[in-house]
């Protein structure tokens, strides 16, 4: 299922005509029921969402112009951050709409077929695998956990609590100016080391505790160094949480947050997300 | 999206970045006839970081996001991107 491109019946470099943008894949009956009600906008304005069904699986799709979503056109569109952000948000709105009503396999942004036959073929060829993912994700959502560290609070806390640092400070007080200077340098290094250890331990604790309330977790890469009023982002996780277990998951996160607050560690939950991070096999 | 007790501006910006991270970077990669390559995704991220630090553009996208509200979606079909 990985991304080698199939032999196209037509060349993807076409810039005329239309293709199909695919958002997510769901159980056919559930998808048909959802579109009986109101549904969000498609990725292109003034275009309706459509369903393409093959047996038990249905792809949620919409028509897109190849003048924008054709291979070459898309590449240049993607360079426009605003265009990309807006279209990515619309992708998300559609996936969220379906994910909040049934179990879906969310697809990554930018999966386009030239015709509906290609989608039917994909559904048929991957039926077993896709059905397995739909079942694995059923009744579950993804929660993001961001861990921030306020360095100043953490440093102060370490200075007050570490026996080793307290001892070094006592020594520095009684030392000659030259020695005191060197000791002060050592204290700084020691503090930085202990801070690192403390952050790593907090991150491990959070991961372990929350794992007990989830059906899986994955550590995510940090996009950029984010420094907020709560400190610097130190780690990001995604947890797959049974909807019925969310209360206990949140309670556990809150308890951790309370315990760690005084050492400058802050926990933030984001979600519920469609299970993007758990959609691959 | 829940952003516990973060301030609104932070929450909005965070939610935007978080959402883009999910949509662009994760999700099942399936062999479409046209698919964004992995190299493209990294390029997108470079430009998105610039985007997010630009308040004006971020706001523009967030208004788009606000339209996610279904009631609004139905009525304000063509307001946001018409400039």
A33-88 per-position pLDDT tens digit: 999 999 999 999 899 999 999 999 999 999 999 999 998 888 888 888 788 888 99
In angstroms, the CA A242 to CA A232 distance is 29
More confident residue, B12 or A139: A139
Q: How confident is the model at residue B60, as a pLDDT?
A: 61
3-state helix vs strand vs coil in chain A, percent to 5 = 50, 25, 25
Q: Is A65 on the interface with B (CB under 8 A)?
A: no
In angstroms, the CA A29 to CA A33 distance is 6
Please state the pTM of the whole predicted model: 0.80
Residues of A in contact with B74 (CB under 8 A): 38
Q: Is A276 on the interface with B (CB under 8 A)?
A: yes
CA distance B82 to chain A (A): 10
Determine the distance from the C-alpha atom of residue A178 to the mean position of all C-alpha atoms in its chain, rounded to a whole number: 51
Q: Which token pair is B13? A: 């910006």
Q: How confident is the model at residue B5, as a pLDDT?
A: 38
Q: Judge whether residue A115 has pLDDT over 90.
A: yes
Cα angle vertex A105, ends A99, A107, to 5°? 105
Q: Is A173 on the interface with B (CB under 8 A)?
A: no
Residue A13: strand, helix, or coil: coil
Which residue among A71, A223, A277 places its CB closest to the CB of B26?
A277
User: CB B33 to CB A38 under 8 A?
Assistant: no
Lowest average pLDDT, out of A34-48, A153-167, B12-26, goes to B12-26
Name the phi and psi angles at A125, rounded to 5.
Answer: -65, -30
Residues of B in contact with A274 (CB under 8 A): 22, 27
More confident residue, A37 or A14: A37
Which residues touch A217 (CB under 8 Å, ≥6 apart)?
A207, A210, A211, A237, A238, A239, A240
Contact present, A59 and A119 (Cβ < 8 Å): yes
Q: Judge whether residue B72 has pLDDT over 80.
A: no
């Amino acid at each position: 299922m990985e991304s080698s491109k199939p032999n196209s019946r037509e060349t993807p470099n076409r810039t005329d005509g239309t293709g199909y943008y695919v958002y997510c894949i769901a159980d056919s009956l559930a998808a048909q029921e959802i579109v009986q009600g109101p549904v969000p906008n498609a990725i292109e304005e003034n275009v309706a969402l459509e369903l393409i069904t093959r047996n038990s699986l249905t792809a949620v799709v919409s028509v897109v112009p190849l003048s924008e979503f054709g291979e070459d056109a898309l590449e240049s569109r993607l360079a426009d951050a605003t265009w990309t952000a807006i279209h990515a948000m619309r992708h998300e709105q559609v996936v969220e709409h379906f994910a909040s009503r049934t179990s879906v396999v969310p697809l990554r942004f930018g999966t386009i077929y030239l015709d509906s036959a290609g989608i039917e073929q994909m559904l048929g060829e991957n039926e077993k695998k896709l059905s397995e993912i739909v079942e694995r994700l059923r009744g579950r959502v993804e929660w993001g956990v961001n861990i921030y560290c306020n360095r100043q609070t953490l440093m102060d806390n370490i200075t007050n609590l570490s026996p080793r640092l307290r001892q070094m400070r006592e020594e520095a007080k009684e030392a000659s100016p030259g020695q005191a200077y060197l000791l002060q340098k050592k204290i700084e290094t020691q503090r930085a080391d202990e801070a690192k250890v403390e952050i790593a331990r907090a991150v491990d604790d959070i991961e372990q505790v929350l794992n007990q309330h989830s059906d899986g977790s994955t550590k995510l890469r940090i996009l950029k160094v984010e420094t907020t009023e709560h400190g610097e982002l130190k780690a990001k996780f995604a947890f797959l949480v049974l909807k019925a277990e969310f209360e206990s998951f949140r309670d556990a996160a809150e308890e951790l947050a309370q315990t760690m607050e005084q050492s400058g560690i802050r926990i933030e939950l984001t979600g519920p997300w469609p299970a993007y991070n758990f959609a691959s096999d | 999206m829940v952003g516990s007790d973060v301030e609104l501006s932070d929450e909005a910006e965070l939610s935007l970045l978080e959402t883009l991270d999910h949509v662009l970077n994760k999700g099942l990669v399936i062999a479409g006839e046209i698919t964004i390559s992995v190299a493209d995704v990294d390029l997108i991220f470079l430009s998105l970081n610039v985007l997010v630090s630009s308040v004006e553009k971020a706001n523009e996208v967030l208004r788009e996001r606000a339209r996610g509200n279904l009631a609004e979606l139905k009525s304000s079909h063509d307001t946001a991107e018409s400039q």
